Homo-oligomer: A and B are copies of this chain.
Amino acid sequence: MGAGPSSVAPSTYYALSRSTLGHLDPYFIKIMDEVKEGLRTIMGTKNMLTVPMSGTGSIGMEAAFVNMVEYGDKVLVLQNGVFGQRMVDVASRLGAEVTELAFEWGTPVDINRVADKLSKEDYKIVAVVYAETSTGVRNPVEEIGKLLKDKDTFFLVDAVTALGGMPVEVDKWGIDICYSGSQKCLSCPPGASPITFSDRAVEFINNRKSPVPNWYLDMSLLTKYWEGNTRVYHHTPPINMFYGIYQAIHNILEEGMETVYNRHQNVHEQLVKGIEEMGWEMLVDKEYRLPMLNAIVVPEGIDEAALRDKLLKEYNTEISAGLGTLSGKIVRIGLMGYNAQPYNVEFVLKAIKEITSK
């Protein structure tokens, strides 16, 4: 019940352990095609180029920037947490001219400040984290998309923690590049990173002035493996991880996306109620809280590291520490995918009460 990886359904573990097929086997290609289709549904997009990348969540971020950035490109990163900071780092290493618009951690991106910034300067890319895992904040992605509607700017969104636990509407919100990870609300082990590129982004990639400075993640090559009647070998993908994500997608679609999102919201509200009854506080204002990642302020006098240690050792339950400036001040409880169940909330609340009342 930490910030991820989350627990995994038995059906997905089972899928993971099926016989490894060749990467050009006709049956495996059917699996690839169904994974693409399932991801499109969950990501709310008709984008052709919608695939899992061969690595964990952060490779999605790397793939997004390395394909879209050319040396000297202007990138605006809206930063209110560790993963926004990571975007700044990733883009800077690629030679982008990065402007960082920072917001207090635990608060959302302020749409007025973004509008002001965009009225003064044009950017090639505007990037934001939808569900900031380090703080539990939901950023106003839909509203930022509206600001970019009539611009040439590419809108790049991190949906690592969001996808599968709350609506992600790539097409409706005008997102050009969106990536996620398998190990959060999709409830698959880490190792496959869904990503989608709009046709406009694909057109840019195919007409870059400079080659993508990363062979492994070059979407113009990967497309030939993922699309068309004749599949061209690029690299060997993580076959069994793709069985896992196939099954994980199936599980969500079978339960129904609305039902899944409601389940996340309900257990979140159950947890918040319990936390507040204990007299503890949530870090984030109600309106901007994520359902799947709950940042809880640890009261004065309670050693959060000792709390987490006892939860792990005595209750076999992992919760996460704060990161960066929030280290030592908060704990983070994940309610992601397979873990988002009322009995898990009851269990963790009871355990925290027992430990802190001693």
Which residue in B14, B216, B238 is a CB contact (below 8 Å) of A190?
A: B238
0 or 1 for each of A57-81: is its CB under 8 Å from B? (1 = yes): 1110110001000000000000000
Which residue in B5, B191, B312 is a CB contact (below 8 Å) of A191?
A: B191
Chain B residues whose CB sits within 8 angstroms of the CB of A94 once the complex forms:
213
Closest to A55 in B: B55
- The residue among A4, A57, A235 with the most chain B CB atoms within 10 A of its own CB is A235
Q: Which of A85-93, A111-119, A259-267, A277-285 contacts B (4 or more CB under 8 A)?
A: A85-93
Which residue in B2, B7, B93, B239 is a CB contact (below 8 Å) of A212?
A: B93
Q: Is A202 an interface residue (CB 8 A)?
A: no
Which residue in B4, B86, B216 is a CB contact (below 8 Å) of A236?
A: B4
Asked if B55 and A236 make an inter-chain contact with CB atoms under 8 angstroms apart, the answer reads: no
Q: How many copies does the complex hold?
A: 2
CA distance A55 to B2 in the complex (A): 23
Q: Is A174 an interface residue (CB 8 A)?
A: no
CA distance A93 to B251 in the complex (A): 40
Interface bracket on A: 35 or more
Q: Is A181 an interface residue (CB 8 A)?
A: yes
Asked if B54 and A56 make an inter-chain contact with CB atoms under 8 angstroms apart, the answer reads: yes
Chain B residues whose CB sits within 8 angstroms of the CB of A95 once the complex forms:
213
Q: Is A183 an interface residue (CB 8 A)?
A: yes
Chain B residues whose CB sits within 8 angstroms of the CB of A190 once the complex forms:
20, 23, 54, 236-240
Q: Is A8 an interface residue (CB 8 A)?
A: yes
Asked if A57 and B239 make an inter-chain contact with CB atoms under 8 angstroms apart, the answer reads: no
0 or 1 for each of A93-111: is its CB under 8 Å from B? (1 = yes): 1110000000000000000
Asked if A56 and B5 make an inter-chain contact with CB atoms under 8 angstroms apart, the answer reads: no
CA distance A124 to B69 in the complex (A): 28
CA distance A59 to B56 in the complex (A): 12
CA distance A154 to B17 in the complex (A): 39
Which residue in B93, B191, B212, B213 is a CB contact (below 8 Å) of A241?
A: B191
Taking CB atoms and an 8 Å cut-off, the chain A residues in 156-207 that contact chain B are 181, 183, 189-191
Subset of 26 A-B contacts with CB under 8 Å: A5-B23, A7-B19, A13-B17, A16-B17, A20-B183, A20-B190, A25-B318, A56-B235, A56-B237, A58-B215, A58-B236, A89-B215, A93-B211, A93-B215, A94-B213, A189-B240, A190-B237, A190-B238, A190-B239, A191-B239, A214-B214, A233-B323, A238-B238, A238-B241, A240-B244, A241-B241
**When A and B form their complex, which 6 residue pairs have the shortest distance between CB atoms, in order from nearest?**
A191-B238, A17-B17, A58-B235, A189-B240, A13-B17, A55-B55
